Structure 1
Amino acid sequence: MAIKESELIINPDGSIYHLNLLPKDIADTIITVGDPDRVASVSKHFDTIEVKKHKREFNTHTGTFKGKRITVISTGIGTDNIDIVFNELDALVNINFKTREIKKELTSLNIIRIGTSGSIQEDIPINSFLISDLAVGFDSLLHFYDSEKFQDLEVSKALMKQCNWFSKKSEPYVVKADKGLVDLLSSDKTVNGFTATNVGFYGPQGRILRLQTQDNNLNDKLSQFDFNGLRITNLEMETAGIYGLAALLGHKSISLNAILANRATGKFSKNPTGIVEDLIKYTLDKLVE
């Protein structure tokens, strides 16, 4: 059955609505970054660049790195943007834009987030590279989809109990990275962790400027969470949405984090740009090993 025009919006030039991309514009391996300016920080390492398109916060470059075709796209901040980017990337490879029908043979994308994050554990230092084995989402994105079969309900229930979760906040959801990508991108230069995806940078991550938070001790509760040895390691704003939608759509995803801040010690990296650059080069080299 054809998908209605109001549900799948295609621009007059045949591109998908928000990303402004054509199906031919993207590779099967996709790197996501939050900051539109960081796209060029990745693509400057490419041997060739064939596509450069930018609309709103969504900046896209597609090219080759050591013979491998790769797309790098900015998502902006937050899981609301992840909902747009992942649904539209999937549409580009799995929906026929002419007939508006889902293809019989589906394509699975490899999606790698290169992002920044803050640790909430003293032993995970600034300037380290963290791979998110698991992520817990404090937003409500995944609850709008039929997604419980991809969630670790046992861990989320334990978290709500141990943290005395405020009932008016969205119920946390827990999702996993793709194991194959974790194995590919892990090394003695990385640490593995359990990432909390927050709905904001200030109050939701326990930062107090002029506004008091509902629970001033939430970060301490999160850092002390323990489920059979599993602990929450860091805070950011996209990973759980990425893992959830990737799993639902049949794609593979992983999130790599440059740890720029340690909330437990109060320290921040003296060279954040350099650390992110090192993570970019590390990721690209691992993808072509």
Structure 2
Amino acid sequence: MNQIGASELIINDRGAVYHLNLRPEELANTIITVGDPGRVAEVSKYFDKIEGKYEHREFITHTGLVGNKRISVVSTGIGPDNIDIVLNELDALVNIDFETRTLKPNQTKLTIVRMGTSGSLQASIPVDSFVASTHGLGIDNLLNFYKLLNNEEELQILQAFNVHTQIGQNGLQPYIAAASTHILKEFVSGFHQGITVTCPGFYGPQGRILRLPLQFPDLINQLTHFQFGQHRISNFEMETSAIYGLGKLLNHNCLSLSAIVANRVEQTFSKDGGKAVESLIVKSLEILSSIK
């Protein structure tokens, strides 16, 4: 079997994968990702036991137990580019033998759940509510560097989106991937569901105008009014499609959960976004810890 080169998978002096600074035994098979490094402790404070804390740059990991369930919470930083690092290194930790630098014969399937904040694109999804993303639709370019194959429904949604927005006329190549139904079905009560659009930035890519003119000034309106069958765009943020796309390719169960802190249609903002996020953490940990 071919060895993976030292320049392709960087392992540091303590035998840990480079960016995450984690050794294989330091990672649980159930993983929560958060964008903000400061939010890691806001999740792990609910652990019954913390086994270890690991840190490198913006990537902080706490691994511990909630009841009998072993869970790691990992900060990713912001954006699809960071997700490329985190998802590939999480997979390497369980599916590559660090001693031989070869693929393990038996693949381990991780459960990866993003918990973050987001902006609603529907008047019916108010601030301080929660969204479980059925799909991640990326208007960034990350998954265009990989061979992502779509099922028929995904292709139909993507085609309808391209026709509706005409966004591809300006050189963008949107992509789409669905959530893991195995996990999504557990997050129904108390959650809105819909397509989450992932943007490669916070200002122009999300239709915000400060001093610069926009290439897509009608983006918010187009996203809000998109519909394909029962599918509508519920919200947008900066990581979900990358997690879903890479998770699908690597054969992991992935889900993205968002606390809505802004409603771009109503132009409202949460009075206490931190409280909304904490409520999402508590509710989601309870569900996650009970999944077999």
**Category of TM-score, reference length = shorter chain:** over 0.9
Letter in 2 for 1:147: L
1:181 aligns with 2:188: no
TM-score (norm 1): 0.97
Post-superposition shift, 1:150?
5.8
Aligned pairs, how many? 288
Equivalent of 1:171 in 170, 173, 177 = 173
Could you tell me which residue of structure 1 aligns to residue 38 of structure 2? 37
1:69 aligns with 2:77: no
Residue range with higher mean Cα deviation, 101-110 or 150-159? 150-159
Runs of 4+ in 1 over 2 A off after TM superposition: 148-151, 166-170
- 5 Å-filtered alignment, 1:238-277, equals 238-277=239-278
Letter in 2 for 1:171: Q
Post-superposition shift, 1:154?
2.0
Could you tell me which residue of structure 2 aligns to residue 127 of structure 1? 128
Deviation per CA, 1:178-211: give whole Å up to 9, x if none: 0010012221x11111100001000000000111
Note if contact 2:143-2:242 (Cα within 8 Å) is conserved in structure 1.
yes
Could you tell me which residue of structure 1 aligns to residue 148 of structure 2? 147
Letter in 1 for 2:288: L
Could you tell me which residue of structure 1 aligns to residue 4 of structure 2? 3
Post-superposition shift, 1:85?
0.2
Letter in 1 for 2:61: T
1:202 aligns with 2:203: yes
Letter in 2 for 1:109: L
Post-superposition shift, 1:229?
3.2
Structure 1: segments with no counterpart, 5+ residues: none
Q: Alpha carbon RMSD of aligned pairs, Å?
A: 1.1
The 1:233/1:222 distance shift into structure 2, 3 A limit, reads: same
Could you tell me which residue of structure 1 aligns to residue 27 of structure 2? 26
Residue 241 of structure 2 aligns to a residue in which SS?
helix
- Alpha-carbon distance in structure 2 between the residues aligned to 1:272 and 1:23: 34
Letter in 1 for 2:140: D
Post-superposition shift, 1:52?
0.4
Post-superposition shift, 1:148?
2.2
Post-superposition shift, 1:230?
1.6
Residue 12 of structure 1 aligns to a residue in which SS?
coil
Could you tell me which residue of structure 2 aligns to residue 231 of structure 1? 232
Q: Give percent identity, aligned residues only.
A: 51
Letter in 1 for 2:13: P
Could you tell me which residue of structure 2 aligns to residue 56 of structure 1? 57
- Alpha-carbon distance in structure 2 between the residues aligned to 1:254 and 1:216: 30
Residue 192 of structure 1 aligns to a residue in which SS?
strand
Deviation per CA, 1:204-228: give whole Å up to 9, x if none: 0000011111121111011111112
- Alpha-carbon distance in structure 2 between the residues aligned to 1:86 and 1:150: 22
Structure 2: segments with no counterpart, 5+ residues: none
Residue 37 of structure 2 aligns to a residue in which SS?
coil
Could you tell me which residue of structure 1 aligns to residue 18 of structure 2? 17
Letter in 1 for 2:183: L
- Alpha-carbon distance in structure 1 between the residues aligned to 2:71 and 2:232: 33
- Alpha-carbon distance in structure 1 between the residues aligned to 2:261 and 2:168: 29
Note if contact 1:29-1:111 (Cα within 8 Å) is conserved in structure 2.
yes
Letter in 2 for 1:119: S
Could you tell me which residue of structure 2 aligns to residue 108 of structure 1? 109
Note if contact 1:150-1:247 (Cα within 8 Å) is conserved in structure 2.
no
Letter in 1 for 2:265: A
- Alpha-carbon distance in structure 2 between the residues aligned to 1:281 and 1:186: 15
- Alpha-carbon distance in structure 2 between the residues aligned to 1:184 and 1:237: 23
